[in-house]
Amino acid sequence: MERCAEPGTVEWVESGGGPLVAVPETVLPFWTGADGEEFASDYDRACEVDGLVGLLPVGDAAALVLGDEPAATAYLPEHSVLVRWVAGHTEDDLLASVPAALATAQWDRETQWKVPGPVVLFDAAWPGTQAEGTDHTRLGLGPGRYTVRAARVSPGPETWLVLVHLRPLP
């Protein structure tokens, strides 16, 4: 994974080996990560998500879990998509392949996600109160309902990625 795009252009978030989670800022204090005192921690619940994406209740909102496998992930607001870098030689090649990948993606079943505003993407193992001290990025989503759909795509012979499309609903 060779990153060579202009620095600061795209922020990639990586996990320590588990899923990533996008938690609304308003409920970050309620995400306990792996430190939960309950029978199953929030991290355990995130690890149980079957498939590319899933929703978990957190406070009075829901977190979006990026399941499947750990992969460096970036949000491209111009496409309203999270790009998960599964395989590819360079960042430039991978990012250049996104428009074609979006056009040819075979999307999994859609789900709806209601968000109260911006969300923070980070490693599900961390408590939400510590998210900003870790590898994270803020997605400036407006409040409302979003259709979430995901797809595995191979836009080139040695390039594989997962797309998670976030479409605002009217």
Give pLDDT tens digits for 91-138.
998 899 999 999 999 999 999 999 999 999 999 999 999 888 788 999
3-state secondary structure of 129: helix
3-state secondary structure of 29: helix
Q: Give 34-77 pLDDT, tens digit per residue.
A: 986 667 899 999 999 989 999 999 999 999 999 878 899 999 99
CA distance linking residue 61 with residue 40, whole number of Å? 19
The percent of residues in the chain predicted with pLDDT above 70, rounded, is 93
Q: What is the pLDDT of residue 38?
A: 62
Our CA dihedral for 104, 14, 20, 113, rounded to 10 degrees, sits at -50
3-state secondary structure of 98: helix
Q: What is the pLDDT of residue 5?
A: 44
Task: For the beta carbon of residue 159, count every other beta carbon within 10 angstroms.
Answer: 19
CA distance linking residue 155 with residue 95, whole number of Å? 11
Q: Give 144-163 pLDDT, tens digit per residue.
A: 999 999 999 988 888 889 99
| Sequence ranges of the domains in the chain | 17-168
Number of residues in the chain: 170
